[in-house]
Chains A and B, each alone.
Chain A
């Protein structure tokens, strides 16, 4: 009976595969000005061995640390970053309970101990860094030399709210220079549905950067499939640039996957061999369809 059952499963699987139309994995067409990837900064990682303890004392180690994970435990490692005004990259290294700073090319500059695993780092308007403790969600403030500033407030910048209205449209209420403005977001990709909107940043020129998640999978797929794009809207609400198809093959699930600084979009993508910082410069000339 077991053999019959197994063969039945195989036959049905083969039949279903044969009868089904191939599932489209191609991304929907983008009608706006597409910004190409301009740089990938690569920072090597070490894999934590099964019986190994992370070194939480040595701040001179120039690599980041990830764990393998297991059945029912995700791999852990750098999940958040931010970019300083000079282009330096600040990354959390939670397994070593420290914060690392790399230059814009990915060369190790320094690290400092914080004494706890952090899962988020955010550059504040004051120039200080707010670091969130994983185990308690408490925000700690440090300066860029790693000196704790417990008396300083940690107000995470907020750039606006978004609302998805339908599968093809949404609205963003952006806050820029103390003024609230409404921005219409149209998602006119054929066969694709808008899933979510997030306001990432507003710059001094009035541009607003919005993360847009959508899916072409409909409800017929077996697993979650989607694409993610970052759009730059001008102060008059015109969609001027789009970074399409952000890679989403994370080894360590990102907490803060995208940051925007001076018109550049940065993505943190931790794999099992390196941390990649993908950079798209929306100030550059871009490709038109």
Chain B
């Protein structure tokens, strides 16, 4: 036992330095954001309205692409694009240029489509620049496990992450104990905010953005 403890202490003395330096630098570079700012940004993306034009139904770089939308359809919420991280302003610009509105993973990452995926949405809400440096697989580099009880004390702007699969932004608890989340949902084709039961999030890991301004 004493031997194990000594190994741990030695590892912390030598290896700990190697681990913490780049991580500290990454965290120091993260844009700071208050919880209110994060939620406001998320809601702005979810409430962003747009109209699908005929040119937005096709993706010039994919022959097999099929749109989720119809011509003239008025939609609320920036559309889901796998691998995307467009802000509402960037999305509007691309839409006007005739890019496809949203795309799913079955078509690959399409440069000729506009929209945002789940991790692109969450990092955008946190205030990170577009570019998709983080996915659900490495989100933990910039978000740590909250020290509070997440069943009762999670705070708006935290996320529930299923590495390699999906991430949603937590915005609050309801009186009946269900939770409110915002997410870029492939099944909805866009960013939405809604109430959800906990069973939707079995095996998800709660994370708190390291650039949060409390």
**How many angstroms between the C-alpha atoms of A254 and B196 in the bound complex?**
10
Q: Does B178 contact A (CB under 8 A)?
A: yes
Q: Does A248 contact B (CB under 8 A)?
A: yes
Closest to B153 in A: A219
In the bound complex, do residue A12 and residue B206 qualify as a contact, i.e. CB atoms below 8 Å apart?
Answer: no
Chain A neighbourhood of B18, CB < 8 A: 1-2, 4-5
- Number of contact residues on B: which range applies? 35 or more
Q: Does A177 contact B (CB under 8 A)?
A: no
The smallest C-beta distance from B149 to any residue of chain A, in angstroms, reads 4
User: In chain B between 194 and 214, which residues have their CB closer than 8 angstroms to a CB of chain A?
Assistant: 197-206
Known A-B contacts A8-B11, A11-B8, A211-B197; the reply to A219 vs B151 at CB < 8 A is yes
Q: Does A225 contact B (CB under 8 A)?
A: yes
Option from B73, B80, B160, B177 in Cβ contact (under 8 Å) with A197: B177
Q: Does B19 contact A (CB under 8 A)?
A: yes
Q: Pick from A2, A196, A217 the residue with the most CB of B within 10 Å.
A: A196
Q: Does A73 contact B (CB under 8 A)?
A: yes
Closest to B82 in A: A73
In the bound complex, do residue A194 and residue B199 qualify as a contact, i.e. CB atoms below 8 Å apart?
Answer: no
- Number of contact residues on A: which range applies? 35 or more
Chain A 5-35 per-residue mask, 1 if CB under 8 angstroms from chain B, else 0 = 1011101100100100000000000000000
The smallest C-beta distance from A187 to any residue of chain B, in angstroms, reads 11
User: In chain B between 137 and 176, which residues have their CB closer than 8 angstroms to a CB of chain A?
Assistant: 137, 145, 148-152, 160, 164-167, 175-176
User: Taking beta carbons and an 8 Å cutoff, which residues of A are in contact with B?
Assistant: 1-2, 4-5, 7-9, 11-12, 15, 18, 48, 50-51, 53, 67, 69-74, 76, 79, 94, 117, 119, 134-137, 161-164, 167, 170, 193-198, 211, 213, 215, 217-219, 222-226, 228, 246, 248-250, 253-254, 257
Chain B neighbourhood of A72, CB < 8 A: 82-83, 105, 117-119, 135-136, 165-167
The smallest C-beta distance from A57 to any residue of chain B, in angstroms, reads 13
- Given pairs A1-B18, A73-B117, A219-B148, 7 additional interface contacts (CB within 8 A): A5-B19, A11-B8, A74-B185, A135-B69, A193-B152, A195-B177, A226-B202
In the bound complex, do residue A213 and residue B199 qualify as a contact, i.e. CB atoms below 8 Å apart?
Answer: yes
Q: Does B15 contact A (CB under 8 A)?
A: yes
Closest to A228 in B: B199
**How many angstroms between the C-alpha atoms of A193 and B152 in the bound complex?**
10
**How many angstroms between the C-alpha atoms of A163 and B12 in the bound complex?**
47
In the bound complex, do residue A50 and residue B106 qualify as a contact, i.e. CB atoms below 8 Å apart?
Answer: yes
In the bound complex, do residue A12 and residue B8 qualify as a contact, i.e. CB atoms below 8 Å apart?
Answer: yes
Q: Does B4 contact A (CB under 8 A)?
A: yes
Chain B neighbourhood of A134, CB < 8 A: 187-189
* 7 pairs, CB–CB < 8 Å, chain A vs chain B: A67-B104, A72-B166, A73-B118, A135-B189, A136-B73, A170-B176, A194-B177
**How many angstroms between the C-alpha atoms of A4 and B19 in the bound complex?**
10
**How many angstroms between the C-alpha atoms of A250 and B165 in the bound complex?**
13
Chain A neighbourhood of B178, CB < 8 A: 196, 198
